[in-house]
């Protein structure tokens, strides 16, 4: 077994142990889970919502995780379960604040003001900026499909739309990002 594989295995064991400890009420174990997963969750939330909501919603995800650890049965990895919980918190937030305006992107809607660059070290940041400027619905479909790897039927269920709408939004998002990243 290569060393990296062993390290991953040991990390998984450590997370499993911390999950059991946290489920029994150990805040220190839960802090270790927080520190090993916060970047992943914070980034997901930032991409799905507006930047000024990111910290609050990330905190809400971890507090909900603490409260719901009793429902975690270990059938998936803790990280997978936490990710799913985060998506649900984000989507609930989206409904609660009535983020329905700007849900759809029109085919010709530009992302004016975002300067695209060619292959440079800053390219990833430029991509994130362009992504943040997408309308809410298109951005969420793009993040869920192209970044997080969900299927259209799963996204459609999450967002309460038909799969065709998810596909259409994804295509428009890709087209918009393409125009601004490749000038």
Partner 1 sequence: MNDHWTNRLSEYIDGELDNEERVALEAHLATCGSCYATLAELRQVVARAQSLDDTAPATDLWPDIRARLTPDRRPGVERARRFSFSVPQLLAAGIALVLLSAGGMWLGLGSRTSGPPSAPPQTGGDYQPVDWRPTADAAVAELEQALSLNEGQLDTATVRVLRQNLAVIDRAIAQAQRALKRDPGSNYLNLHLANTMRQKIELLRRANALAAGQS
Q: Which residues contact 155 (CB under 8 A, 6 or more apart)?
A: 141, 144, 145, 163, 166
175 contributes a contact to partner 1 by CB under 8 A: yes
Residue 18 near partner 1 by CB under 8 A: yes
Closer CB to partner 1, residue 58 or residue 165?
A: 58
CA distances 103 to 13, 38, 45, Å, are 41, 27, 17
Residue 156 binds to partner 1 (criterion: CB under 8 A): no
Cβ of residue 4: shortest distance to partner 1, in angstroms? Answer: 10
Query: 110 with 135: CB under 8 angstroms?
Result: no
Name residues contacting partner 1, limited to 52-91 (CB under 8 A): 54-55, 58-59, 62-63, 66-71
Q: SS3 for 110-135, per residue?
A: CCCCCCCCCCCCCHHHHHHHHHHCCC
Is 42 a binding residue for partner 1 by CB under 8 A? The answer is: yes
Single out the residue of 128, 153, 157, 162 in contact with partner 1 (rule: CB under 8 A).
128
Residues contacting partner 1: total by CB under 8 A: 58
């Amino acid at each position: 077994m290569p060393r990296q594989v062993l390290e991953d295995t040991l990390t998984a064991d450590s997370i499993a142990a911390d999950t059991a400890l946290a489920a029994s009420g150990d805040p220190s174990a839960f802090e270790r889970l927080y520190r090993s997963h916060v970047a992943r969750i914070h980034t997901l939330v930032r991409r799905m919502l507006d930047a000024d909501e990111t910290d609050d919603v990330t905190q809400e995800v971890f507090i909900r995780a603490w409260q719901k650890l009793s429902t975690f049965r270990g059938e998936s990895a803790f990280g997978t379960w936490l990710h799913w919980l985060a998506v649900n918190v984000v989507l609930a937030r989206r409904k609660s604040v009535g983020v329905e305006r700007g849900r759809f992107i029109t085919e010709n809607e530009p992302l004016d003001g975002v300067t695209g660059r060619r292959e440079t070290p800053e390219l990833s940041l430029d991509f994130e900026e362009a992504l943040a400027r997408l309308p809410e619905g298109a951005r969420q479909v793009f993040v869920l499909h192209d970044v997080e790897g969900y299927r259209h039927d799963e996204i459609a269920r999450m967002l309460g739309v038909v799969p065709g709408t998810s596909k259409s939004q994804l295509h428009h998002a890709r087209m918009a990002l393409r125009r601004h990243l490749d000038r």
